[in-house]
Structure 1
């Protein structure tokens, strides 16, 4: 008979057999602890995604604030530009009022003189005594066609007859439009008719009012200009007040937008803090369950091979990592905070909005296209030249490698989010590869004596490659931590 109170292998004293639970109850309790730990681990596995999402929220909030500030700045800039344009236009109009007054006087005087001349012409009737060769019969014919005074016609011309026969005839052009031909008025009578009108017009211009406006007309124009000046000065004085009002409205809109953002940020931060506290509580409970599992294992020992792996997985340590900037995290046990390891660690205050860098220049497409073409056609194979097999293969491989390297460096650097200049020394290396391929083609040329030039080009290619490689290595050394 075995004594139930005998010592175990590890030196611990077992529970008396009268009160010790059965092996099945021990295994059931052990499995329950392991399943509880598994469930908590599955819940805690969601914390990294939550932390990344919360960091994205912080970045998004910072971008929204930057966008609101940018919109406010653009609004103020537009208000300032509009005010400057308005004030410049009003000042220009004010400075031009004197010239405008003189031009209005000139136009008014011209109108008065034209009206006086037209009245004189309309009162001068065409009579047989005024024009040589035109009798009363032709006077009646002209009156029948609406030509009674010097104001009824303006000129005479020679044109083809209405029926197309008889050659050219004389037409009299009326002021109101249209032209007429009077039988019996030809060249000998048309010229005196036109000279009569010109003489009447000259006498009317000579007898027109003097080249100065009457006092009442000058006073009327001066009143119009003064009223225009008062209106422009009033608008000029109103422009700063309107701009200040627009600035206040823009500032109020920005304040309201920032207030909405702040309210949303506070609510999101509160929910995130609640969720983070839940994760911290889960981590504390997980540590308690692990402690219970360890105590259970110390008390009852190993209960079977099937649970050994599950026990080891359940007793794994909780991952430890530095906290995310701007995201608080509460400790779980002692000085060991429960945090997650994330690759994207940003600071809301230092990196509020990711700004794009300087994009790589589009001119890098030229060497890329050249090396692509060289990959297809090789070097030293144009015309009657026949390159060796080794040169054909080597040149294509070098051109292909250069094309792939340039594409690898250039394509990410032209994108907005990953924009940056090409690495230092890339241009020297590209020039070196270009000169090297050129020298290889010159060496393969059998029809011209370019050996010395090919040697010089090859030396330059080597120097360019060395310089570019040195710059690349030096840059990598200075930027490495």
Structure 2
């Protein structure tokens, strides 16, 4: 027997060939790769939620930034308004100093004249020779009641007698308060007494000074000038105080922005770490898909049980672009067909040293916070009502049994479909517009139900209108369905 083992030219034995794995080992390896890809896909499914949360974070940061800027603007506006009011008030007081000087001079002159008149009246004593009818006895009685000079009383009046008996008597009103009655002084003696006092006041007013003395005017001028200097100093200090207030507001604004920037930077770093984890998992998934494609190329089909799983595992990784302005190290490429009809992706990882590759324009994605309109409640309520009452049954009309049943089923289906589309799009986390084409479909269903009701109307000749409504309903339904199908054919990346 000839030994098939050959030796090399140098006499050494050749390297043994690696033994091919058994079918069970190939299937186990295939399943391992598929399970690993499936686990990574489950983890990568969380990326959309992460990106939406990060977008909300960026929106919140922008709102915080805007609020800080608005607060700083309001603070600066208040400082400016306060400065303007203060300067206007000081300027108005400065302009009124000349008038204030005249007023103070008039007041000082009035005080000086009043004091002069009071001194003159206090030195004018009652004298029997100057007041007709009043002798020395009455003067003594008046002095006993505190009335000695013209400054001690001011007027006379009539009133009841102190003891309540008799008629009215004459009372003399003292300057310091109170009134007295002097026996023997009635109307004939009270009138000369008041005349004497009026003559004394006229003489005192004639002797009172009519101009301020120079020293008093100089004193008032010094007071006004000191007030003017003080106000001018306040007017100069108003812009300085406003500038200090602006500096303080700027410092507080800077501190607030620094705090926000620090928080934003920390949140951005955490988001970048999380995004890097997703990118690393995407690269690992592409690597596992490459290994699975190589395994399929090398060992072929290993059984129908894993055929569908491997086809699903080799699906192209959906394009998950990060938020605008945030780089991602992964650049996905289009898949290429592989053996057994399975799709095999091309692995293309961008390196730091590689030149930047043109990125495909991302398709528009639903924006968080953009909710479906409340106007969709009108067709929902209409279809709900139609589900209860049907069509063609109003008044004396009686629709066919199949029409009553079919219209209710049709309206119930339309209500359920609108609720299925509208309710999630009203929630905060899944807020979005209604799918394109839903309005055409809703209008088509409405016209279709209206046309059925018109066909069932036996008393009115609306057959032509019912046919027109039916045709328009078909066109709207076809247009809306076409828009819905085109949107499904080009879905969002996530």
TM over 0.5: same fold?
yes
The answer on 1:87 being equivalent to 2:91 is no
Matched residue, 2:477: none
Where do 1:437-456 residues align within 5 Å?
A: none
* Deviation string, structure 1 residues 54-111 (Cα, Å, up to 9, x no partner): 1122222222222232223223322222222222222222222222222211111111
Q: 1:276 Cα deviation (Å)?
A: 0.8
Residue 103 of structure 1 aligns to a residue in which SS? helix
Runs of 4+ in structure 1 deviating by more than 6 angstroms, as ranges, are 335-341
Asked whether the equivalents of residues 117 and 201 of structure 1 are also in contact (C-alpha less than 8 Å), the reply is yes
- Contact kept? 2:321, 2:328, Cα under 8 Å: no
Q: How many aligned positions are there? A: 331
What is the rounded CA distance, in whole Å, between the counterparts of 1:78 and 1:160 in structure 2?
Answer: 68
Given that residues 155 and 194 in structure 1 are in contact (C-alpha distance below 8 angstroms), is that contact kept between their aligned partners in structure 2?
yes
Instruction: List per-residue Cα deviations over 1:167-210 (Å, max 9, x = no partner).
Output: 4433322222233333443323322222221111111111112x
Q: Residue 344 of structure 1: which of 362, 367, 371 is its match?
A: 367
Tell me the distance in 2 between the aligned counterparts of 1:105 and 1:336: 88
Q: 1:192 to 1:20 in 2, by over 3 A?
A: same
The alignment status of 1:286 with 2:285, answered yes or no, reads yes
User: Normalised by the size of structure 2, how large is the TM-score?
Assistant: 0.59
1:267 maps to 266
Shift of 1:18: 7.5
RMSD: 3.3
SS in 2 for 1:170: strand
CA distance in 2, matches of 1:184, 1:304: 147
Task: Report what 1:205 is aligned to.
Answer: 205
1:71 aligned residue: 71
- CA deviation vs aligned residue, 1:256-306 (integer Å, no higher than 9, x gap): 33333333333322222121111011111122223334444552624354x
Kept in 2: contact 1:120–1:204 (CA 8 A) = yes
Partner of 1:21: 22
Counterpart of 2:215 in structure 1 is 216
Q: Look up the SS of the partner of 1:173 in the other structure.
A: strand
What TM-score, normalized to structure 1?
A: 0.61
Distance in 2 (CA, whole Å) between partners of 1:118 and 1:143 is 18
2-side partners of 1:292 and 1:340: how far apart?
Answer: 30
TM-superposed deviation, 1:219? 1.5
Q: Cα–Cα, structure 1 residues 322 and 45, in superposed 2: closer, same or farther, change >3 Å? A: closer
Contact map agreement 1:322 1:341 (CA 8 A) in 2: no
CA deviation digits over 1:411-442, x for unaligned, max 9?
xxxxxxxxxxxxxxxxxxxxxxxxxxxxxxxx
CA distance in 2, matches of 1:159, 1:31: 128
SS across alignment from 2:171: strand
2:148 paired residue number: 148
1:33 correspondence with 2:28 = no
Q: Structure 1, unaligned stretches of length 5 or more? A: 1-15, 347-353, 355-388, 391-481
User: What secondary structure does 1:266 align onto?
Assistant: helix
1:326 and 2:325 aligned: yes
Match in the other structure for 1:178: 178
Quote the Cα distance in structure 1 between the aligned partners of 2:97 and 2:18: 119
1:337 CA drift (Å): 8.0
Alpha-carbon separation, structure 2, partners of 1:266 and 1:69: 18
* SS at structure 2 position matched to 1:60: helix
Comparing 329-338 with 125-134, greater Cα deviation is found at 329-338
Q: Which has the larger radius of gyration?
A: 2
Whole-Å separation in 1 of the counterparts to 2:66 and 2:259: 14
SS at match of 1:172: strand
**Residues of 1 paired with 2:147 and 2:96: CA distance?**
45
Q: Quick check: 2:90–2:231 contact (8 Å CA) kept in 1?
A: yes
Cα separation, partners in 2 of 1:177 and 1:46, compared to 1, 3 Å: farther
Corresponding residue of 1:366: none
Corresponding residue of 2:231: 232
Distance in 2 between residues matched to 1:18 and 1:97, nearest whole Å: 114
Say which is worse superposed, 76-85 or 48-57, in terms of deviation. 76-85
CA pair 52-161 structure 1, distance change in 2 beyond 3 A:
farther
Distance change in 2, residues 1:30/1:190 (3 Å): farther
Change (3 A) 1:292 1:325: same
Tell whether the 8 Å contact from 2:124 to 2:150 is kept in structure 1 after alignment: yes
User: Which whole-Å CA distance do the structure 2 matches of 1:313 and 1:18 have between them?
Assistant: 30
Q: Is residue 157–residue 171 contact of structure 1 (8 Å, CA) maintained in 2?
A: yes
Counterparts in 2 of 1:164 and 1:273: CA distance versus 1, 3 Å: farther
Kept after mapping to 1: 8 A contact 2:56/2:368: no
1:328 is paired with a residue whose SS is coil
Query: What residue number does 1:100 align with?
Result: 100
Matching residue of 1:245: 244
Query: Cα gap change, 1:18/1:224 in structure 2, threshold over 3 Å: closer, same or farther?
Result: closer
CA deviation after TM superposition for structure 1 residue 312, in Å: 4.5
| 5+ long unaligned stretches in structure 2 | 1-16, 332-346, 349-356, 371-394, 397-494
**Conserved in 2, the CA contact under 8 Å of 1:142 and 1:182?**
yes
Taking the TM superposition and a 5 Å limit, the aligned residue runs for 1:91-170 are 91-162=91-162, 166-170=166-170
